[in-house]
A and B are shown apart, each in its own frame.
Chain A
């Protein structure tokens, strides 16, 4: 479906994207992570054909992306990209026709989406009169109304309450089921963890983590042990090689360890204490992100 091949983008002397490659297949959700200025938006703009890469290429279905192919791509930008003076209907028709749809089809689809998002009466409301959350729903509709093959979601949940987040999540899953390839970008790691099978973490335009989420987590050796109990021998635990830190969190303790081989040693140390919880957990994406990004900054 989508293939990004070794793209490099310079703004003057500044390298915004540094040899980035990835592919997204039909029905796959791909996560693009990075702190602000990491090159995510530049990458999206290159995929959309808004910017030319300094080198490298972007292919959709084996062909370079040009204006004949952008009708098959949907794009939810990070900031609202709506003409606020228009009504919902005018806005969706405007973007829909630019995607090569006819007005009748747009109206049928729009009615369906407005009902689905619980705003069936908003057809003739001006965009500027809508709440931030409802504007985001309209922006989402404008990006998916033409049933794209590829959907780019740049921070799609920003400004949404949990109920609206669920509505959008369900819609995204449905698009995935239909075979849409989805690229997802968010600062909120839990969304990426929930959604994405594959991801890339960009730091200063360079991919520092790349692959399937389960493999990334597996490869990340550091683990966390959650402990709850009484008379826990922390002096003894601290001395076990591989224990990085011990941090109390409410009525529990979070132990960071270098790898899972350390866990049995901790268990052996506490087996005579009154332990009510002993849980070895995978690292969160947030932890991986912070460490990877932090390492690059330190370098």
Chain B
């Protein structure tokens, strides 16, 4: 019987992984994820208006600001050439303002640098059409740097001294209650980053429920269930389906992570190094500053335990529900509440940051199916402690034991039932039977 369990598991897993659709879907997923991770580079590669060269015409009425301004623009655009920035060309012009305005082209921007008694330097930016935000910001930044440079020169201040003066004060923050050690930024980061992290889990849950139910429904509708169940017990049969589907989902989850890593590596190679893209590195730095990284030591194992136990609970329920139905259409309908429950967990996890200290969220973090998403997010934000997550795990284990004890009785009756008549009465009676 033990060998038959492993055989059924192997066959079930092989059917999923060996299917050409698994390969097709994963090729598509890999392409999509790698592309999404490198979407900036891809958009840039294919070109567009953002690559259009802009010619900056500079009329310097101060007779000393142009060189500094041009140097700042070139430095901001990280170019080695003296006159070209790649996107921006800087050119000094001496014609009168009205003539320049009359002849100004759409790809040209006129910057007039003027002396200002109070502010050292003022400027006008003139263009035919509205210039894009990035170019505008770059020009303003260069103007500010130029103004600073002129002021330093006027007052003979060493730039290093100014840098020390303007550097932000170093603050060491200490919260004595470790469970409440959350930075204000954490909530903001959580609400933006967390949905992305847990989305794959939500997707995998849907995969799992569909797979377990689909396979059992197929065996039922083809009547091959009768042959299988005459050779192995319903417990062995359901157990093999659950193990195979969970292994598949974990494999798929691993592959999703692998595609992200490959995407980042490709992005790093094309960016000239192996570092993470700036946005992700910034997020990680911010998360590190909140002390979250220290929590990962216990958060990851606890989240993984919850995740695996939740997968088992989901697949048990999917299997039991599939056994109660007589075709795939019925199963699709009956599994909808489970999907909604998972969706509720997803939204609750996202909203956790908005309702700090909510007793309802704390209670919901113990509820099976919701706990795997809500508990880790609340723990991450310091709204619950490790003990709460352990309670969620214990509740989930009790729930699984309950499903095994009573659900298997329903499963045994359900898998050989092809009638929709008095179905609930039949299963209620099955639950009352003494043994499986």
Contacts and interface: CB of A to CB of B under 8 A. Distances in A.
B52 interface: no
A81 B222 CA distance: 5
Interface stretch (B139-147, B194-202, B229-237): B229-237
Given A77-B223, A80-B222, A81-B223, A98 B228 contact: yes
A193 B426 CA distance: 39
B136 interface: no
Interface string A84-123: 1100000000110111100000000000000000000000
B61 to A, nearest CB: 80
Interface string A186-223: 00000000000000000000000000000000000000
Contacts of A237: none
Interface of A is mostly: loop
B231 A99 contact: yes
A229 to B, nearest CB: 53
Contact of A51 (B222, B228, B416): B416
Contacts of B232: 67, 98
Contacts of A67: 1, 231-233
Interface in A155-202: none
Contact of B231 (A82, A84, A98): A98
Contacts of B233: 67
A75 B227 contact: yes
A83 B231 contact: no
B219 interface: yes
Interface in B378-436: 416, 422, 425-426, 429
Given A50-B416, A67-B1, A97-B4, A81 B226 contact: yes
B218 A83 contact: yes
A81 B219 CA distance: 8
A97 B11 CA distance: 11
Contacts of B223: 77, 79-81
B7 A75 contact: no
Interface of B is mostly: helix
B224 interface: yes
A216 to B, nearest CB: 30
A151 interface: no
B57 to A, nearest CB: 70
A50 B230 contact: yes
Nearest to A78: B223
Contacts of A100: 4
A283 interface: no
Contacts of A50: 226, 229-230, 416
A39 to B, nearest CB: 15
B224 A75 contact: no
Contact of B230 (A70, A80, A82, A85): A70
Contacts of A80: 222-223
A98 to B, nearest CB: 4
Interface string A120-152: 000000000000000000000010000000000
B98 to A, nearest CB: 79
Nearest to A73: B230
A154 B425 CA distance: 29
Contact of A84 (B222, B227, B422): B222
A71 interface: yes
A75 B416 contact: no
A98 B416 contact: no
A16 interface: no
Contacts of A70: 230-231
Interface of B: 1, 4, 7-8, 11, 218-219, 222-233, 416, 422, 425-426, 429
Given A67-B231, A75-B226, A81-B224, 20 more contacts: A45-B416, A48-B226, A50-B226, A50-B230, A50-B416, A67-B232, A71-B231, A75-B227, A81-B222, A81-B223, A83-B218, A83-B224, A85-B218, A94-B11, A97-B4, A97-B7, A98-B4, A98-B7, A98-B228, A99-B231
12 contacts: A48-B226, A70-B231, A71-B231, A75-B226, A75-B227, A77-B226, A79-B223, A80-B223, A81-B225, A83-B222, A84-B222, A98-B232
